[in-house]
Structure 1
Amino acid sequence: MDVERITGVAERRVYDPRPEAGEDSFGLALRAARDCLAASRYEAADLDIVISASITRFKDADRFYFEPSFAGSLAREMGARSALHFDVSNACAGMMTGVYVLDRMIRSGAVRSGMVVSGEQATRVAETAAREIGDSYDAQFAALSVGDSAAAVIMDRSVDESDRIHYIDLMTCAEYSHLCMGMPSDRTEGIALYTDNKKMHNKDRLALWPRFHGDLLSKNGRDFAGEEFDYVIQHQVGARFIDYVNQTGEAEFGTPMPTSLAVVEKYGNTATTSHFLTLREHLAAGTARRGSTFLLVPAASGLVTGALSATVTNLGV
């Protein structure tokens, strides 16, 4: 199978399996959290809350943890011992969900600052798929496009229009949850990802985002063209998926899409971290202008869609 031709993924990152490397989900998340703190004006002790959004929850090499909370363990390890902490689980929209919750908590005055963090040892499902599948029509084919990663973002109250989340909202269509399931393999030892790509990414599913986003804007007397987005970041499922969903958005909104940013060719589908990894890479490389308005669009199992609008100028990367 020509995975690169089908998905557009030319490279992906794979964890170092040696225990001393510390590249399980927890270790990757901890590195991202510390890197995020180093690029910020905060110390760990300043954070009021830590939210973990990992799908894969490997710690101590091969152990998959449900408890204790990843967020609690990360907070202690990085030195945020007095911070509130909890995990969220919402498939590939996990970090977006964490940002959604933290945004609301800051706006309400419940907290002043916090971190959303995720570490994904996703190539575990690729290893299972490589053992088991025989053709591109297999339900595990999408698992071959995933990559390992971690990302973290610190948020606080905006005091300047040049750095602000203008709005974030999410929608779940649970009737489609069966179209993409992560679970123990039914054939060999290991975890597996089963996706019905044909139904998951059909025209009606792809149209959920622009229709939801259009309704969200119309309630406030606005439209998509008037938002004047500079860039759009779709979930990094694959190059073709990104093209299709942007084409669908253009048809539904009746206006050209903003410049689409992607890193899927280099990193693959990095699950919960994909939007923030893409944003970080393009800001660091200078291929996205600071002071621009970004639209981040989730597309997660469940099925989850939505929109995050933000102007980003001084984000440390």
Structure 2
Amino acid sequence: MNIAPFEGVPGQQLERLAHIEFLVYFTGKVTRKDIMSRFGVSSAAATRDLSTYIDSAPDNIVYDPRQKHYVATNKFQCLLPLSAEKCLSTLTSGFGDVMDGLEDFRCAYHIVLEEPELDITATFSRAISLARPVEVEYVSTSSGFSTRVICPHSLMNNGLRWHVRAYDRKREKFSDFVLNRVVSTKLLYKDVFKKNEVLDKDIDWVEEVELVIQPHPRLPKNSQWAVEKEFGMEDGLLIKKVRKAQAGYLLNSWNVDSTVGAELKGRHVFLHLKNAEALEKMKIDSLFLAPSLD
């Protein structure tokens, strides 16, 4: 991929050119109306955008008078550094950064247990931006319902649900709080974070660890090759560097056998944590989530 062909193009127009490339790349076609409806520009402006794109990529698209739109050619090559994550999100949820898309075209789908409430999510986001604590009513699996004050610094998705990472004044430690277990929130505008409650003091968040993942040793060779291909392994290994606080979540969501001797059984277990013994010695809090015999 190369952004040089559009060097010097203003940012807003570059967004429109990226939209043209996305549509051609993933749907095989684009029209002036697509640009006009997405960005609210005139027909003349949409025509100029298409001309600018064609000037830089004359082999990528051609006009089909029968269908009355531009179509991808067999020589199409992506010019802009499109984000795979954002492209898949668009194919799933439609165009737009914050509003739910209304486009007809959908070809990707994701499964979620439940989306978090926007009011609660926005409260935590404001708290992070303003560096202010939040009083929460929370339902924990261990202690049940409680009210506590937490100092959030990050929101994260573990693949199944959303969490907020925060310092918990009640337990005097950094912890993860599931957004969908939060009953209510109150932003404490007049309060501030103390020195020990900020992100830099969250050691498990700041420090990283390497997860050395391999195809499960009990798998037949053909299955191991398939797993290696699926996870982009090199020499039979996937080395994933993650925050210590996220290690257990990743191992859980990928269902990685985290026993030292690769002891887990079942047709659903395809991966094994090769350096499980080394991680056990690190005493990482989140590792209790990793698949094991416990």
User: Shorter-chain TM-score category?
Assistant: under 0.3
What TM-score does the superposition give when structure 1 sets the normalisation length?
Answer: 0.23
Larger Rg: 2
